[in-house]
Chain A
Amino acid sequence: MAELQLKSHRFRAEREADWRRLERLLDKVERRGVGALGQDDLLAIPLLYRQALSSLSVARAISLDQSLVAYLEGLCTRAYFFVYGARTRLPERLANFFLRDWPLAIQALWRETLVSGLLMALGAVVAFLLVQADPDWFHGFIPGEMGQGRDPAASTEALRATLYATGKDQDGLGVFATFLFTHNAQVALFAFALGFALCLPTAGLMLYNGCMLGAFLALFVSRGLGFEAGGWLMIHGVTELFAVTLAGAAGFSIGWSVAFPGERSRVDAAAEAGRRAATAMAGVVVMLLVAGGLEGFGRQLVQDDRLRYAIAAASGLLWLGYFYWPRRPAP
């Protein structure tokens, strides 16, 4: 009954094998990655994709078989995202990130970084002055359990003891470092995400973070332990506070572009700022990993004040040089 055969039926019969081959290859890629394909298959995919795409155009014009058109749409969409998707390998992607993308993202955020840093400094100065004037302010900035015995009621000797590790403190350093890292990274991510709410919550978080710092320093300075406390704080604090400042800056950049998108549409501005800030944030997590290590291990193992300051200064110079050394923009 040859005359009963429809044109669309013949059309399908002639091309079905190719569609099925493309489908099989895509299944393989999606399950096991690009590595699972041989060279012939890899080269065949773009060709099969274009064939399927032209089949889709024809099918839409001549075929009234709904399921066929839906199948081709699904197949072409999958193939499209494979053919035009990124296929850089992980080592390459990591190299790009550390050599170019991360520092460039940080450089692009320099204004927000300044604002974020100034807010934190402002909080620190205000809290410092307030606590110096009246030690009771200390409890206003630092909730009870957080000080771990470091409060105005403690004796100077007890305070001094908190700055230096004794023998038994050296157990469990790994756990301590890991805890610090995960906790700080979570807070940084939180500050970043809060930026979307038009910057204000992030600004509050930065100020408050500065306040805790200022209150803490004021307490130790009032007992003549300012130099020692500075070393205790800065050995990891340079890295950690810098990372938190950058997290705040990343949040600001999103909130700012949502509030004031300029010439672009709000959606485009948010997406552009969000992606750039995300690159910076991925780096912030790395920085906090380093800071967690310095705080958990470095501070417990290095007991000398001057050495602590030296490590702090070195880490600060390294970060600044790494981020702000002029670089060629992405090709």
Chain B
Amino acid sequence: MTAVRDLARRARAQVAFADGWRELVTPEGVDLRLKVAAYAERFAAFAIDALILVGGLVLFTIIALLAGGATRAAWMGEALMVVWLLGLFLARNFYFMWFELRPRAATPGKRLMGLRVVAADGGRLTADAVFARNAMREIEVFLPLMFLGAQGEGIDGALITLGAIWSGVFVVFPLFNRDRRRLGDLAAGTLVVKAPKKVLQPDLSDDRFAAGAGLTFTPGQLDVYGEKELHVLEQVLRSGDRRAQAEVAVRIREKIGWTGPTDLPDRTFLNAYYAALRGRLEAGLLFGRRRRDKHDRGQARP
């Protein structure tokens, strides 16, 4: 029994690996289905954070220099130096920590890219985990930079090259594991997932959009498509792209053998068809019939 369950779990994990979805079942028993952040998004987030950090430090340094030049008092210069050194240290080590410990669990870069940090087991994201994942940046970011910045000839040069390759392994680490975790994520048991802020968009089946045209469709006309096509239609309608809407409207009219009025705007026609199709498919759902796409004829699936 456990072996079967084990196999099933492994199969599920395989599926999760294929498309980057992670299961997160809340204590209430609902799967929230987290999506692991893509490489490009994570890189962009880091680049934004690095820009903010470097830009901020340059600005900070300039201000400190100006203030130092303006006062000329010895103790003032000393105090500025202390502040500057501490600021540098805090920014380098605690910029990421500070933001990831806040309720959003995301640095400004991550927030812009719609990402957040979560504990891999779905539990609380603790301070020690955030510390661990960010302390690892020392060997993921600063060690390679050190080797890149180092110069030497002969044996020194060869050693530096070897070191650069070795430290490069840490950099490309996320490419070689499921969930795209970097070293710090592994040492802390964390993941970076997508958590974009979604706006609740108007319901397209609303009377305001669909009615008024007074169009009716026969069951035969509605049975042409399934859920997948409905979702594509939803995207086309929401995107507001008139060319795409015109093309889709022509295709649908052709496919369902539309004989009703042809002088309607495409958008009105598509909305009416969307509402009718969704109504029919959802009615099917209530009776336990799910039609995945236009090829799904309701036969027993393997």
Contacts and interface: CB of A to CB of B under 8 A. Distances in A.
Given A4-B211, A30-B104, A82-B103, A178 B30 contact: no
B95 to A, nearest CB: 14
A34 B235 CA distance: 37
Nearest to A174: B82
B128 A278 contact: yes
B28 interface: yes
A50 interface: yes
B222 interface: no
A33 B103 CA distance: 7
A281 B187 CA distance: 13
B105 interface: yes
Interface stretch (B41-49, B198-206, B245-253): B198-206
B193 to A, nearest CB: 8
A86 B126 contact: yes
Nearest to A177: B82
Contacts of B89: 181-182, 185-186
Find the residue from A62, A63, A267, A278 having the highest chain B CB count within 10 A: A278
Interface in B130-177: 131-133, 135-139, 142-143, 170
Contact of B282 (A62, A179, A270): A62
B30 A56 contact: yes
B30 to A, nearest CB: 5
A278 B24 CA distance: 25
Contacts of B131: 278-279, 281-282
Contacts of A65: 203-205, 234, 278
Contact of B30 (A57, A67, A71, A270): A57
A172 interface: yes
Contacts of A68: 200-201, 203
A267 B189 contact: yes
For chain B, the bracket of interface size reads: 35 or more
B196 A278 contact: no
A39 interface: no
Contact of A6 (B32, B74, B282): B282
A275 B126 contact: yes
Main secondary structure, interface of A, reads helix
Nearest to A273: B187
Given A61-B285, A178-B81, A271 B187 contact: yes
Contacts of A50: 28
A66 interface: yes
A277 interface: yes
Interface string B230-254: 1100110010000000000000000
Given A175-B78, A185-B89, A196 B187 contact: yes
Contact of A71 (B24, B126, B129, B200): B200
B120 A271 contact: yes
Binding site of B, secondary structure by majority: helix, strand, loop or mixed? Answer: helix
Contact of A272 (B189, B196, B200): B189
A100 B266 CA distance: 68
A57 B26 CA distance: 12
B210 interface: yes
Given A9-B206, A74-B196, A86-B125, A4 B279 contact: yes
A215 interface: no
Contact of B275 (A4, A19, A84, A192): A4
A274 interface: yes
A141 interface: no
A193 B231 contact: no
Given A4-B211, A271-B186, A279 B128 contact: yes
Interface string A1-25: 1001111110010001001100100
B138 A78 contact: no
A268 interface: yes
A63 B207 contact: no
B135 A271 contact: no
Contact of A189 (B138, B189, B198): B138
B32 A80 contact: yes
A76 B103 contact: no
A29 interface: yes
A181 B82 CA distance: 11
A34 B238 CA distance: 35
B85 A179 contact: yes
Nearest to B105: A81
Contacts of A182: 85-86, 88-89
B188 interface: yes
A80 B26 contact: yes
Contacts of B66: none
Interface in A124-175: 171-172, 174-175
A254 B27 CA distance: 31
A64 interface: yes
A296 B178 CA distance: 47
Interface in A183-227: 185-186, 189-190, 192-194, 196-197
B82 A197 contact: no
Given A6-B278, A85-B125, A189-B93, A178 B86 contact: yes
B103 A85 contact: yes
Contact of B205 (A9, A29, A75, A171): A9
Given A30-B104, A192-B138, A196-B136, 8 more contacts: A29-B103, A61-B285, A66-B235, A73-B33, A84-B123, A93-B127, A271-B129, A278-B129
